[in-house]
Amino acid sequence: MAFAGKYELESQDNYEEFLEAIGLLNAKTEHKVQTEVLQEGNDFTWTQSIPNWTWSNKFSVGQECELATMKGSKFKAPVTMEGSKIAINFPQYHFTAEMVEDKLVMICTVPGEKGVTFKRVSKRI
- To the question of pTM greater than 0.85 for the whole model, the response is yes
Q: What is the fold, at CATH topology level, of the domain defined by 5-124?
A: Lipocalin (2.40.128)
Q: Please, is 54 exposed, middle or buried when counting C-beta atoms within 10 Å of its C-beta (0-12, 13-18, 19+)?
A: exposed
Determine contact, residues 68/57, Cβ cutoff 8 Å: yes
In order along its 125 residues, the chain shows pLDDT tens digits of 589 999 999 999 998 899 888 888 766 666 688 999 999 999 999 999 988 888 899 999 999 999 998 888 999 999 999 889 999 999 999 999 999 999 999 999 999 877 899 999 999 99
Which of helix, strand or coil describes residue 116? strand
